[in-house]
């Protein structure tokens, strides 16, 4: 009887020890997979994290509601139609050169390449100056489906100045991305070289797809 009683606690201790060892092993295995997700954001700088994006952040973001946009005659601008949409936005420079036209074609191509997400995205062109007949013909022939609105150049530049490090939003020819909650958060330079413009269009599509995939708002 005494031998049996002495053996039972020993067996229980061995079982407890084995269970503890199994738990420690499981924790060690989980740590291998979980710790990188906890540690990397702490040791990576914001600049390093931003490298996963192809575009440049507008910091601070620009609130779309603060843009004093006005409808243009015979144009289809409807601010309410932009609610809940991802928007590719372009501030038309006073003279639309090759980089400008490339930007417009890039915006069109990006949306077409979004496949099933195409209806989640739309375009908006902001005009801060009068356009010449040649450019108007291009817009009517190739981009009549894009919304157009007018705005004061000085006001636009003032609102974007901090987010662009003091640069002019109305002169740089940047393509901007706006999230469905109404914040302009990223921009991409335009390019005179057509091949470079095609490559940047692919970058915009990648960032847009990634943003839409991770978003809970649109």
Query: Taking the chain (218 residues) in consecutive chunks of 10 residues, what is each chunk's mean pLDDT?
Result: 54 61 56 42 41 88 95 88 95 89 96 93 94 91 95 94 92 93 95 94 94 78
The residue count for the chain? 218
Tens digit of pLDDT for each residue in 158-206? 999 999 999 999 888 899 999 999 999 999 999 999 999 999 999 999 9
Q: How many domains does the chain have?
A: 2
Question: Prior bond to 60 cis, omega within 30?
Answer: yes
Range of the domain at 69: 54-214
Is the CB of residue 71 less than 8 Å from the CB of residue 150? Answer: yes
Residue 15 sits in the same domain as residue 118: no
- Residue 49 belongs to a domain: no
Q: What is the DSSP-derived secondary structure letter of residue 72? A: P
CA distance 119 to 105: 18
Residue 148 sits in the same domain as residue 196: yes
Which run of H or of E encompasses 191? Answer: none
Token representation of residue 130: 């009068």
Q: What is the pTM of this model?
A: 0.75
- Residue 124 belongs to a domain: yes
- Residue 182 belongs to a domain: yes
What's the pLDDT at 41?
Answer: 40
């Amino acid at each position: 009887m005494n031998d049996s009683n002495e053996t039972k606690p020993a067996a229980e201790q061995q079982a407890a020890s084995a269970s503890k060892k199994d738990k420690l092993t499981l924790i060690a295995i989980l740590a291998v997979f979980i710790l990188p997700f906890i540690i990397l954001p702490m040791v990576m700088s914001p600049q390093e994290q931003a490298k996963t994006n192809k575009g440049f952040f507008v910091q601070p973001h620009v609130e779309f509601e603060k843009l004093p946009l006005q409808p243009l005659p015979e144009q289809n601008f409807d601010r309410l139609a932009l609610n809940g949409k991802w928007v590719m936005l372009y501030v038309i420079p006073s003279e639309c050169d090759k980089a400008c036209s490339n930007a417009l074609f890039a915006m069109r191509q990006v949306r077409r390449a979004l496949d099933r997400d195409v209806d989640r995205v739309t375009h908006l062109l902001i005009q801060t100056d009068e356009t010449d007949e040649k450019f108007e013909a291009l817009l009517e022939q190739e981009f009549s489906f894009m919304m157009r609105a007018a705005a004061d150049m000085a006001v636009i530049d003032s609102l974007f100045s901090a987010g662009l490090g003091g640069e002019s939003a109305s002169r740089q020819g940047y393509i901007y991305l706006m999230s469905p909650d109404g914040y302009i958060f990223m921009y991409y330079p335009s390019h005179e070289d057509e091949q470079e413009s095609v490559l940047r269009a692919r970058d915009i599509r990648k960032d847009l797809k990634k943003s839409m995939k991770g978003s809970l708002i649109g």
